[in-house]
Structure 1
Amino acid sequence: MVALGGPSSLVDQRKLRAAEKKLADKRAARGVFDPDAIPEWNPNVKPAIMVNQAKISGGAESKSKDIKLENFDIQFAGKKILTNANLSMNFGRRYGMVGKNGIGKSTLLRAIAHQELRVPSHIRVLHVEQEIAGDDTTAIVSVLQADEERESLLAEEKKLNQGLQKASTTPEDAAKMDARLKEVYLKLEEIEADKAESKASAILNGLGFSPEQQKAATRTFSGGWRMRLALARALFCRPDLLLADEVTNYLDFPAVVWLERYFQNWHATLLVVSHDRSFLDAVSTDILHLHNGQLDYYRGNFTNFVGTKTERRRNQIREYEAQLQYRQHLQAFIDRWRYNAKRAAQAQSKIKILEKLPPLEEPPKDDMEGIVGDGQEGSVYFRFPDPEKLSPPILQMTDVTFGYDSSRTILKDISFDLQMDSKIAVVGPNGAGKSTLIGLLTGKLGPLRGISHRHGRLRFALFSQHHVDQLELGASSVQFLSGRFPGQQEEDYRRILGRFGLTGTTALQPIGTLSGGQKSRVVFAWMAMSNPHVLILDEPTNHLDMDSIDALAAACRAFTGGIAIVSHDERFLDAVCNEVWVCDNQTLTRFEGKVGDGDGVVRQYKKSLKIEEV
């Protein structure tokens, strides 16, 4: 049929559309630019979470605090996260959730917290995700207000006392008020309301809040400290189910150690997402593995999970190879004897056996990539180019004192020497001066007194804890690098980005649409292109999955320049560093670990910490 008013077409439009789609798929696979495949970046638009849940857990009738959610689906931004999934958590257990970056771990937590995935209404759920809003409320009062039951009882106590003092109150009403007041006092005694302030103060202290900070208004704190405050409120009010998503990203090393020990005595249910293996080992009683749209359960901590998962895959491979060998043996017998008159009957019997066997499927690709990061073939690979050698000293400070004004000294009489072969971990509580030390090392800050020497040809590259500030969110990764290092071909920038795991169209989409881990990789690519003599890394493992953390550790070990790292990740630090410098009480001192006692120097430092119990 020919359309009226237009020329005749001999092209089958259905086949044409199919061919165009096939070509677009091939381009995407090769990483060829396809403008329709690049999402637009809009910081004000967040995709909706779509949940299909058959029914709520039966625990709603029994008032049990165990959680059992069955046969539910979750989609986010059109992507399937879970299909026909089941989530079961026993009250009092501590679950660590693991999975590759972008697999949907945070989406699952948000679905539970926002009641899109419904749990029984009698179970109190609290999600540590967003920083609290700042106002004139002090930090400790903000924590105390998190316990709504205590706040309600105190408000009722105040109202009853005011009513008893009124002259207009009748004897009958006074008797009722007095009886109710006794009940309120009894309830306050049961929840130990008189100890609430000391408990809140101890939690804040463990998370790094000094006595002065505890009395400061919440509006005076930065975003990272407000996240700590949100965590303190959650720990104080003890919900039935605490959802904690990468909470260690906002903590310094001593605070992470404190939180590990605090969670070990957590008597409610905990579901924590983390890429810090030592933290998961210390905290978890169970592991939930999110992969391929399903949840798998493992008893024990992360190390037990890795052992069980590895052994399970080893058995699958053994079974597959045994089955393959058996089938090959049958086929070889058939091929040899099926046309031999004497053996034809036996060959026919083997053919029937072979036909009855179920289809043989090769074990799926190991889904541990992105979780275990054992350096196997196919895992992420990072590399920083080796710099030319510089004669020492290259970066040295002697008796340096620094303060932003004469009345407030941050670092006093510190000495520090970083050489081309240095691999140094800088640890200590937040606010002790680690960021100031980085500023002095990079030359952004100058000392009030003392000598700060940098080699004239020294190049350094800084990974900032707030690395997003180093990026142009509206530009693509290729555009960002070409703006910093002009004059090269697009293929050169994409090859460098590919070295850090940004391949295909990912390198061409706006940086604002990338995940936190992908943004970190853009910064690593920029650092590599600057060809530095010294890497200064401030919390580089935040947002990286475990495979990427191990790839970064391997790249740092292979790098022949100097490295100084500020991090809370014990395993990462021990994998890279052979020195620990402690920044605390205005000083910078080297921790003297014992060589050859079986632990890395960072683990030795961790064991030496004296942590106050709550």
Structure 2
Amino acid sequence: MLSINNLSFYFGSRALYDEASLHIKPKDRIGLIGANGTGKSTLLRLVVGEYTPDGGTISKSGDCSIGFLNQDLLSYESSESILNVAMQAFEREMVLQKKIDEVLHEMETNYRDELVDKLAKYQEEFEALDGYTIQAKAEEILEGLGFKTEELQVPLQRFSGGWRMRVMLAKLLLQKPSLLLLDEPTNHLDLPSIEWVENYVRNYEGAVMIVSHDRYFLDNCVNIIVEVSGGKLNYYPGNYSFYIEEKTLRNEIQRGAYENQQAKIRQTERFIERFKAKASKARQVQSRVKSLEKLDFVDEVIDDTARVNFKFTLATQPGKNIFQLEDVSKAYGEKRILTHTDAYLGRGDKVALIGANGKGKSTLLRIIAGTESIEGKRQIGHNVAFAFYAQHQLEALNIENTLIDELREMGTDKTEAQLRGILGCFLFSSDDVFKKIKVLSGGEKSRVALAKMLLSEANFLLLDEPTNHLDMISVNILIQALQQYEGTYVIVSHDRYFVSEVANKIWYIEDEQIKEYPGTYDEYVLWQQEREAIRKESGAARTEKPVEVKVAKPQPTVSDTERKQSQQKLKKLQQQVEELEGQVSKLEKQKADTEAQLADPEIYQNTVKFNEVQKAYDRVKQQLSQANDAWESAMMEVESLEKLA
């Protein structure tokens, strides 16, 4: 239905796309991924015709209609109700409805056969278009996206940008284009809405292309991953989890091909250098020069799995009790958020605060930070120093500062080399650190603000939607930073993969109370599913607090004696793994040395010497294979014991 052939597009002198190709078929569910700045959103704009390619073609079939949800729609305003804005998707139906109303109005005072015929004609077409159900369809989608029934008649302009984006998404879904383009659709959705959109996209009749950094969303929605990398569109037939596995395999194959090719190039270059002055070897030398010129070079594998290797330190060690709320109530006029509720945080708690929008998650963060007035008692523990990250923190960055100056203003005693190292952890390398804040993208500014927060050496962090506008590599960096962080934090996030990686407790607001599940997000989801199943069976909601379901958590089945024995064996195995790694490294060097000898043309003139080297090569190759097998076996046993230790 749509073909991209040999697409080239330049941003200044930089090629975002260089002869890239992709074919989209009906019912394809494509997840478009890649680092920030690689051109994902640009590709969507090229497809809809907002940008013109510098080379190649984008062609679509005559019956292919395209719908595009982009971040520009955040600023769209209208005085019409959100229901009417969404129903603008039914353009022809709305025209017919207006004509029907006009005819009926005229018939009240001027009844004529001509009007009866006209009304019958309009009503026949209106019914054929299923016009009598359009309002019900619009209401269903808007409510699925989180709007309450009483809000459907509220003017669009009274909603914030994120809620307006939901209305525009509803309008787009109602239009049902044959190709749906969604640019970061989950950025402004809460968890229930994300799950609703997932289900809708899975059952969508047309094709879908989604730009998203939400791994769970991609896993649940798409059957194809297209990675934008190196100016190309790399195709993977599966969801995001399949892509991770397949890319690892492809990288291994490519790395092997690259290393083999580089070895062959080195051997050829050595031959050319050695014999280029000998007339008797001129033909062979010339042949090898031509073979190098014609060589189709294999690209080196670039590892895009960023690693954080900076240790984030705490200025002071807090007491055991970090934070406590007692008998707290909060309301905005008649809208109650919290009513006589309690909450407690201990040192080392990693809490994810989840749930639907409008429940009061951001309000609770502000209450914890002390910037929101409350009824009741708020108590901060001994030596607790907190830092607060929210989207408005980006506006607090000094746009005239360079990145390194912005970090210096934290009053840290770290050297420039250490500051550069921190920025390097957040993907700012070499001269990037001297860029001014004002030239950075939204995602890059988010990374700077996060680096500043972690550099603050606070022992208690509050983070409100920290993954918004971050690409997957940046989200991975933040996950690693938080996993290394030794303090306490509360995070509001709708990114389920992120939450599952960083939280050891789940908070949610229900019935105006702060409730806690004492486990990971994945355990919380299972508990909620069991809870919902019991509700359906009993016909009534359960009332017990989630903290009472500790018995549902898996209990250790290994005795202390067995665990101690496992730990001792694990220590020995880890030492054995280290020895084997040294042995493998030594054998690989011996193998490389013998390969180099075999690559020397002179060795073939001495049969005895050649046989000796060949035998040595076969011997070391066998030893290397055995050492690798032993290392792999030891590693598998280590992994098995680590689960018990």
TM-score between the two structures when normalised by the length of structure 1: 0.76
Deviation at 1:263, TM superposition (A): 0.9
> Counterparts of 1:238 and 1:512 in 2: how far apart (Å)?
39
Counterpart secondary structure, 2:462: strand
Counterpart secondary structure, 1:600: helix
Counterpart secondary structure, 2:433: helix
Q: Which amino acid aligns with 2:522?
A: G
Number of the residue aligned with 1:147: 90
Equivalent position to 1:526, from 437, 452, 466: 452
Q: Which amino acid aligns with 1:393?
A: N
Question: Highest relative contact order (Cα 8 Å, sep 6+), 1 or 2?
Answer: 1
Number of the residue aligned with 1:249: 187
Q: CA RMSD in A?
A: 3.5
> Counterparts of 1:383 and 1:110 in 2: how far apart (Å)?
41
User: Does the 8 Å contact 2:40/2:228 carry over to 1?
Assistant: yes
Deviation by residue 1:457-503 (Cα, 9 ceiling, x = unmatched) = 32111110343233233443344344453888766654543342233
Equivalent position to 1:310, from 245, 248, 254: 248
In the alignment, is residue 476 of structure 1 matched against residue 402 of structure 2?
yes
> Counterparts of 2:128 and 2:112 in 1: how far apart (Å)?
30
Number of the residue aligned with 1:415: 342
Number of the residue aligned with 2:46: 111
Equivalent position to 1:448, from 375, 378, 397: 375
Equivalent position to 2:37, from 102, 117, 123: 102
Structure 2: gaps (5+ residues): 53-57, 534-645
> Counterparts of 1:225 and 1:483 in 2: how far apart (Å)?
36
> Counterparts of 1:479 and 1:323 in 2: how far apart (Å)?
44
Deviation at 1:336, TM superposition (A): 13
In the alignment, is residue 427 of structure 1 matched against residue 354 of structure 2?
yes
Deviation by residue 1:502-534 (Cα, 9 ceiling, x = unmatched) = 334433333232112210111112212321011
> Counterparts of 1:88 and 1:496 in 2: how far apart (Å)?
41
Number of the residue aligned with 2:516: 590
User: Does the 8 Å contact 1:402/1:412 carry over to 2?
Assistant: yes
Number of the residue aligned with 1:601: 523
Deviation by residue 1:48-75 (Cα, 9 ceiling, x = unmatched) = xxxxxxxxxxxxxxxxxx1113233222
In the alignment, is residue 465 of structure 1 matched against residue 391 of structure 2?
yes
Query: Sequence identity, in percent?
Result: 30
Q: Which amino acid aligns with 1:89?
A: I
Deviation at 1:248, TM superposition (A): 0.6
Deviates more, 1:326-335 or 1:581-590: 326-335
User: Does the 8 Å contact 2:213/2:471 carry over to 1?
Assistant: yes
Number of the residue aligned with 2:583: none
Deviation at 1:112, TM superposition (A): 2.6
User: Does the 8 Å contact 2:90/2:134 carry over to 1?
Assistant: no
Q: Which amino acid aligns with 2:514?
A: L
Deviation by residue 1:391-433 (Cα, 9 ceiling, x = unmatched) = 121211122111234x332112222222221111110100101
Structure-to-structure mapping, 1:152-551, within 5 angstroms: 152-162=95-105, 164-165=107-108, 167=110, 171=113, 174=114, 178-321=116-259, 363-367=298-302, 369=304, 373=305, 379=307, 384-405=312-333, 407-449=334-376, 451-485=377-411, 493-551=419-477
> Counterparts of 2:486 and 2:411 in 1: how far apart (Å)?
23
Number of the residue aligned with 2:558: none
Deviation by residue 1:255-312 (Cα, 9 ceiling, x = unmatched) = 2122111111111121110111111111112111111112122211112222222222
User: Does the 8 Å contact 1:132/1:229 carry over to 2?
Assistant: no
CA 221–328 in structure 1, closer or farther in 2 if over 3 Å, else same: closer
> Counterparts of 1:311 and 1:492 in 2: how far apart (Å)?
35
Number of the residue aligned with 1:3: none
User: Does the 8 Å contact 1:387/1:561 carry over to 2?
Assistant: no
User: Does the 8 Å contact 2:319/2:382 carry over to 1?
Assistant: no
Which has the larger share of helix? 2
CA 610–68 in structure 1, closer or farther in 2 if over 3 Å, else same: farther
> Counterparts of 1:583 and 1:403 in 2: how far apart (Å)?
14
Structure 1: gaps (5+ residues): 1-65, 338-344
Deviation at 1:189, TM superposition (A): 2.6
CA 413–327 in structure 1, closer or farther in 2 if over 3 Å, else same: same
